[in-house]
A and B are shown apart, each in its own frame.
Chain A
Amino acid sequence: GTVSSAGDVAGEDELVKIASVVASNTPSSRAIREAFIPYIEEQLPGEYNIQIYDSGVLGSESASYAYTKTGIVELSLLGSSMWSETPVMASTDFPFMFRDVEHARRAYQGELGDFIAEELNAAQPVTLLSWLPNGSRAFSSNQSLETIDDFQGQRMRMPNNPIHVRLAEALGANVVIMDLGEVFTALEQGVADGQDNPIATLRNEGWYEIQDYIYNTNHMVASLHLFASDYFLAELPEDHRQVFEEAALLASDYAWDLYIEQLDEDIAFVEEQGVTVTELTPEDRERFIEMLQPVYDYLDSQYDWAEDIREMVDNIE
């Protein structure tokens, strides 16, 4: 195994803790380490001792969010676990909301991101500083999976989440629900033919060895959010606060660049391993959206703003 070098945390400067729920080698955690922290240290030398804690070691997503709200961690990099308190956050999990990863990036860094941040900042003692990438989902299978018709009758492993399950059902697949940890065995033993996850997961978990097809649907492009506690921000001098905000935007760009670069690398890697990767055509995307009408009906019944938000994102260039 590899070990990251680690030193003593203590120092003269004020300790600023960043709780990250993703691993240290992900583009977003790397962006904090390689762009966010260096920028602040360069602009405000000797003021802050910024430490990032990866992989959720300071607490689960919801615990880290609670810690950010009280200010015992100053910043956090989290997924979307705070839905119950801020329902609009659920929109980031709507299927085929984005045309592709670049479109998702523009939406999160633009109008969609601003819209959600505004709701959240008003309701919670936190400030959403910027949006970073988490993972874009693609389907994979050991059966032929090159067009939308191929889903018919395939056994697809889905996470235990109503939107995901309804999505696979609407495509005509038979849904198998199980924990992420069991996926490899299930695919190997044929309990499931396929699954949907970011291609990076497929690569890291070695699933490409037992999967022959990837349909790069990008049907959900999940994000991470860099939050700051309002208690922490309130104590910052105005010019320092500005530096933190600039650093956050810088980290966002850095992470998306890194993510897209890595995505291309991951695709090249699995293709080298003999996996057939099919990109989604605009026509097929239209057909997906038609077939997923039951899912959109379900979302509309759950959230009265669901349709507006889809339209807003669709209008983003």
Chain B
Amino acid sequence: MQKTLDRLFSLIDILTGILTGLMVAFVFYNVVLRVAFNSGLTWSEELARYLFVFVTYIGAISAMRSNAHIGIDTLLARVNDKAKLSLYIITQLSIAGLMFLLIHGSIGMISANAAQTTAALAIPFPVLYSVGVLTGISITLLALGNIVHAVKNKENIGQIVKISSEEDDLVEEAEASAKEHLEELVKEDRA
């Protein structure tokens, strides 16, 4: 189960990467057309913009999974395990509640704009707004899964509540690159 999910999420990450690549392609194509031929395409800008919305929403799901949304764990790190678990459950339930509102609101937007389409590509707005439903459901499931996981692994609660931010990756990167460069320099010295 865990492995299947890992694979699913690495596919989702690749998907957001590809969508970002498409954004680059569409916007770049438009710049070239405009600068070189003095003509632009409204559809490529529109498409790139909505891809951007999708990358943001889908990326938010992936960030929820890897606990990568920026947060502060200063207080959380200082309370005992029992309090940690309760606060964690409260937090995850609140997130699920907020995502329920996102789902509810997105469905409302879909029905209010059922017949409307975008200006350039005539994409139906319900298609675009459905990304809110998708994200809402996914994050709700992840939040509920987080609660189950935390209750089952009470002894590891300290580790579970830790927020793994983007900075952590960068910190690791910086540390590794510092070591690497120092080694190189030492080698040079010996030579």
**Chain A: residues with CB nearer than 8 A to chain B?**
69-71, 84-85, 125, 231
Contact = CB atoms under 8 A, between A and B. Distances in A.
A84 B119 contact: yes
Contact of B109 (A70, A84, A85): A70
B108 A70 contact: yes
Contacts of B116: 69, 85
12 contacts: A69-B112, A69-B113, A69-B116, A70-B108, A70-B109, A70-B112, A70-B113, A71-B112, A84-B119, A85-B116, A125-B112, A231-B112
Contacts of A84: 119
Nearest to B125: A66
Most buried by B among A84, A125, A231: A125
A71 B113 CA distance: 11
Contacts of B109: 70
A70 B109 CA distance: 6
Contacts of B119: 84
A231 B109 CA distance: 12
Given A70-B113, A231-B112, 5 more contacts: A69-B113, A69-B116, A70-B108, A70-B112, A125-B112
A124 B64 CA distance: 37
Contacts of A70: 108-109, 112-113
B106 to A, nearest CB: 11
B115 to A, nearest CB: 8
A117 to B, nearest CB: 19
Interface in B116-170: 116, 119
Q: How large is the interface on B (under 10, 10 to 19, 20 to 34, 35 or more residues)?
A: under 10
Interface in B78-102: none
Nearest to B115: A123
Contacts of B108: 70
Nearest to A125: B112
A69 B113 CA distance: 8
Nearest to B120: A84
A80 to B, nearest CB: 15
A69 B116 CA distance: 11
A231 B113 CA distance: 12
Contacts of A71: 112
A219 to B, nearest CB: 28
Contacts of A85: 116
A157 B113 CA distance: 38
B116 to A, nearest CB: 7
A222 to B, nearest CB: 22
A84 B116 CA distance: 11
B124 to A, nearest CB: 14
Nearest to A230: B112
Contacts of A69: 112-113, 116
Contacts of B113: 69-70
A125 B112 CA distance: 7
A60 B76 CA distance: 41
A125 B113 CA distance: 8
Nearest to A69: B112
Of the listed residues B108, B112, B119, the one surrounded by the most CB atoms of chain A closer than 10 A to its CB is B112
A85 B122 CA distance: 11
Nearest to A123: B115
A69 B111 CA distance: 11
A163 to B, nearest CB: 19
A71 B105 CA distance: 11
A34 to B, nearest CB: 32
A189 to B, nearest CB: 27
B125 to A, nearest CB: 9
Contacts of A125: 112
Nearest to B109: A70
A102 to B, nearest CB: 36
A231 B112 CA distance: 9
Contacts of B112: 69-71, 125, 231
A69 to B, nearest CB: 6
A231 B119 CA distance: 24
Nearest to A84: B119
A283 B61 CA distance: 68
B65 to A, nearest CB: 30
A91 B138 CA distance: 46
A232 to B, nearest CB: 12
A316 B116 CA distance: 34
B105 to A, nearest CB: 9
Nearest to B129: A70
A91 B132 CA distance: 37
A85 B119 CA distance: 8
